[in-house]
Amino acid sequence: MRVLVTGIGGQDGFYLAQQMLHQGHDVTGILRTRAVPLALSELQTHSSQLQLLTGDVTDRDFLRSAIVASAPDQIYNLAAQSHVGESFTSPVPTFEVNTLAPLYLLELIRQIDPHIRFFQACSAEVFGENPPAPQTETTPFAPASPYAVSKASAFWLVESYRRSYGLFACSAILYNHESPLRDESFLSGKVVHAIARILQGRQQTLALGNLDVQRDWGFAGDYVEAMALMLEQEQPTDYVIASGQTYSVGEFVEAAFGYVGLDWRQYVVVDAKLLRPADAQLLRGDAGRARRQLGWQPRLDFQMLVELMVDAAIKQSKQTALSAALGES
Ligand SMILES: Nc1nc2c(ncn2[C@@H]2O[C@H](COP(=O)(O)OP(=O)(O)O[C@H]3O[C@H](CO)[C@@H](O)[C@H](O)[C@@H]3O)[C@@H](O)[C@H]2O)c(=O)[nH]1
């Protein structure tokens, strides 16, 4: 099988490409810039079945040429402006990448080859600030941020093209999913990398925003398995992909600091500038449909995820310090 993956430079892109290559498929990935992330470049060295294209997913002609050149059986649209907070300051680019690009892809599939199966990464943010919990595929949308509205719009476009043109197109309503590839613009990456620097004596405090909001956190490697399963079904539909377990930001922080024997209260300060104009209070997904129809369930629980990320951040920080020391000597 041939698959085309937009946003292959992100964490989901990496894990999905790794899985697809492992299963023997040909993968064409779209990167925004020529800089290939380290993990992806290692994957590329070990596989001749991975091709990378550089281009902008908001450029329809580029997308057309990528689809024609790769002739995919499946397209996974993982490219996104995925920072909820940033969408308040950059709403237009958020919409261009998160809504216009999937619309282009759906149109191109319809025109070039309607048999191509399409996956769209949607977000639990569509449920808004105070949804009933747990949320399912039938929970009403009430998107609060420009990011959430952009993802909700893409969701309805997928639904519309599925109904109107019979495309095999699906959205996954993805809850927070993390990995050692998460950077510091996300809460989990920010916390674990700060811990690594604190242990090395290179950082004394960690400024965070809202500690009370609750999220349903899972491992990105588990979530890409659900994506692939969705496109293997007989009928296309949308799925909630979540762990079903909810922890507050404060609990994430406490678990991560506690794992290395530190008391988070001695390091964390709340900075009002990091609070968002609107923030979902409690996200907890019910992935019952995915469990029943896809046979999917996550392997890593919250504590395992926290430990995996802290261990990787410490290892990375040691390597950085070693390279710096070697560079100096
Ligand atoms: N990033 C960040 N978040 C913070 C901080 N302090 C507190 N938070 C809170 O920590 C929570 C998690 O923030 P993020 O890790 O940035 O993720 P998110 O906004 O919940 O969005 C993620 O999950 C969505 C699905 O639920 C995804 O759609 C989205 O792309 C992203 O991966 C939010 O409530 C945010 O306000 C901070 O310093 N930085």
| CATH code for the domain in which residue 191 is found | 3.90.25.10
Residue type (1 letter), 32: R
C-beta 242 within 6 A of ligand 1:
no
Residue 117 sits in the same domain as residue 253: no
Ligand 1: residue whose CA is nearest its atom 6: 209
Classify residue 291: in a domain, yes or no.
no
- Number of structural domains the chain divides into: 2
Residue of 147, 175, 239, 267 with catalytic role: 175
Q: What distance in angstroms lies between residue 183's CA and the mean position of ligand 1's atoms?
A: 12
Nearest by Cα to 59 from 36, 30, 35: 30
Classify residue 296: in a domain, yes or no.
no
Q: Tell me, what's the pLDDT at 106?
A: 98
Residue 198 sits in the same domain as residue 210: yes
Q: Tell me, what's the pLDDT at 329?
A: 66
Nearest by Cα to 84 from 136, 141, 32, 151: 151
Q: Tell me, what's the pLDDT at 327?
A: 81
Among left, alpha and beta (phi > 0; psi -120 to 50; other), residue 53 is beta
- Res. 138: pLDDT tops 80: yes
Residue 126 sits in the same domain as residue 194: no
Element (H, E) at 86: none
Q: What distance in angstroms lies between residue 249's CA and the mean position of ligand 1's atoms?
A: 9
Torsion of CA 251, 257, 262, 265, to 10 degrees: -40
- Res. 195: pLDDT tops 80: yes
Q: Which ligand 1 atom sits closest to the C-alpha of 121? A: 28
Residue 138 sits in the same domain as residue 200: no
Residue 164 sits in the same domain as residue 18: yes
Asked if the ipTM is above 0.95, the reply is: yes
- Res. 240: pLDDT tops 70: yes
C-beta 150 within 6 A of ligand 1:
no
C-beta 213 within 6 A of ligand 1:
yes
- Extract the runs of DSSP E, i.e. beta strands, from 231-298: 239-241, 247-248, 268-270
Q: Which ligand 1 atom sits closest to the C-alpha of 207? A: 38
Q: Which ligand 1 atom sits closest to the C-alpha of 177? A: 32
Residue 47 sits in the same domain as residue 170: yes
Could you tell which of 84, 145, 309 is best to mutate to test the pocket of ligand 1, judged by most ligand atoms within 8 Å of the CB? Answer: 84
pLDDT tier for residue 320 given thresholds of 50, 70 and 90: confident
Q: Which ligand 1 atom sits closest to the C-alpha of 275? A: 36
Phi, psi of 217 (to 5 degrees): -100, 135
- The b/e string for 6-34 (b: 16+ C-beta within 10 A; e otherwise) is bbbbbbbbbbbbbbbbeeebbbbbbbbee
Checking DSSP bridges between strand 50-54 and strand 218-219, what pairing results, if any? unpaired
Q: What's the rounded Cα separation, in Å, for the pair 195 and 253? A: 10
The answer to whether residues 162 and 120 touch, using CB atoms and an 8 Å cutoff, is no
Q: Tell me, what's the pLDDT at 164?
A: 98
Assigned token pair, 158: 């997928």
Classify residue 329: in a domain, yes or no.
no
Classify residue 285: in a domain, yes or no.
no
Classify residue 120: in a domain, yes or no.
yes
283-288 mean pLDDT = 98
Residue 28 sits in the same domain as residue 168: yes
Give the CA distances from residue 292 to residues 98, 168, 219, 287, 301, in Å, rounded to whole numbers and listed in that order. Answer: 29, 20, 20, 9, 19
Classify residue 289: in a domain, yes or no.
no
* Domain assignment of residue 267, given as a range: 187-214+245-279+301-322
Give the CA distances from residue 83 to residues 79, 182, 197, 226, 286, in Å, rounded to whole numbers and listed in that order. Answer: 12, 12, 24, 22, 23
Residue type (1 letter), 186: F
C-beta 175 within 6 A of ligand 1:
yes
User: In the block, which residue shows the tokens 């308040």?
Assistant: 88
C-beta 84 within 6 A of ligand 1:
yes
- Res. 15: pLDDT tops 90: yes
Q: What distance in angstroms lies between residue 250's CA and the mean position of ligand 1's atoms?
A: 13
Q: What's the rounded Cα separation, in Å, for the pair 47 and 8? A: 15
C-beta 187 within 6 A of ligand 1:
yes
Q: For residue 218, how far is the Cα from the chain centroid?
A: 11
Phi, psi of 291 (to 5 degrees): -65, -50
Give the CA distances from residue 147 to residues 79, 86, 208, 231, 251, in Å, rounded to whole numbers and listed in that order. Answer: 13, 8, 21, 25, 25
Q: Which ligand 1 atom sits closest to the C-alpha of 176? A: 23
Residue 249 sits in the same domain as residue 227: no
Assigned token pair, 109: 């599939």
Ligand 1: residue whose CA is nearest its atom 10: 187
Residue 204 sits in the same domain as residue 154: no
Residue 81 sits in the same domain as residue 210: no
Residue type (1 letter), 236: P
- The b/e string for 264-291 (b: 16+ C-beta within 10 A; e otherwise) is beebbeeeeeeeeeebbebbbbbbebbe
Summary mean pLDDT of the chain: 96
C-beta 243 within 6 A of ligand 1:
no
Q: How many CB atoms lie within 10 A of CB 168?
A: 20
pTM of the model: 0.97
Could you tell which of 125, 150, 176 is best to mutate to test the pocket of ligand 1, judged by most ligand atoms within 8 Å of the CB? Answer: 176
Q: Is 175 a catalytic residue?
A: yes
Nearest by Cα to 254 from 311, 199, 211: 211
Output the domain CATH number for residue 229: 3.40.50.720
Residue 75 sits in the same domain as residue 205: no
Q: What distance in angstroms lies between residue 280's CA and the mean position of ligand 1's atoms?
A: 9
Could you tell which of 82, 190, 215, 275 is best to mutate to test the pocket of ligand 1, judged by most ligand atoms within 8 Å of the CB? Answer: 215
Q: Tell me, what's the pLDDT at 155?
A: 98
Q: Tell me, what's the pLDDT at 277?
A: 87
Give the pLDDT confidence of 61-101 residue by residue, as tens digits. Answer: 999 999 999 999 999 999 999 999 999 999 999 999 999 99
Residue 206 sits in the same domain as residue 233: no
User: In the block, which residue shows the tokens 């762990």?
Assistant: 243
